[in-house]
Amino acid sequence: MTPSEFVMGLFALFVALFSLGRGLSEEEFYRLTKLKKALGRTHGILCFFLTDVALPLVVGIMYLSKSAADSGVLYMVP
């Protein structure tokens, strides 16, 4: 397992969860406000979710699964 890929995966998951928390909080994040003004409410929220939550989540899962596959943790050896 490459430690750098594992750490990048964990960091990407942290970023996704942190951004999701900012998007769902009572105070509106300034970037979300600007996107809503520029693109409209629905498209602004969609753009924020895709760029700040979904993309880091996919990258985090990709790096974690790659590091787990490279380490051989997933192989069942009798």
Question: Mean pLDDT in runs of 10 for the chain (78 residues)?
Answer: 84 92 87 92 93 93 88 70
Q: Which domain holds residue 16?
A: 3-68
Report the pLDDT value the prediction gives residue 31, as an integer from 0 to 100.
87
Q: What pLDDT does 54 receive?
A: 94
Record the pTM: 0.79
Residue 73 within a domain? no
What pLDDT is stored for residue 23 in this prediction? Answer: 86
| pLDDT of 38 | 95
Burial of 25 (0-12, 13-18, 19+ CB in 10 A): exposed
Q: How far apart are CA 20 and CA 78, in angstroms?
A: 41
The confidence score (pLDDT) of residue 25 equals: 87
Domain count of the fold of the chain: 1
Establish if 41 belongs to a structural domain: yes
- Could you tell me if residue 25 is inside a domain? yes
Residue 77 lies in a domain: no
Q: Report yes or no on 15 lying in a domain.
A: yes
Q: Judge whether 76 lies within some domain.
A: no
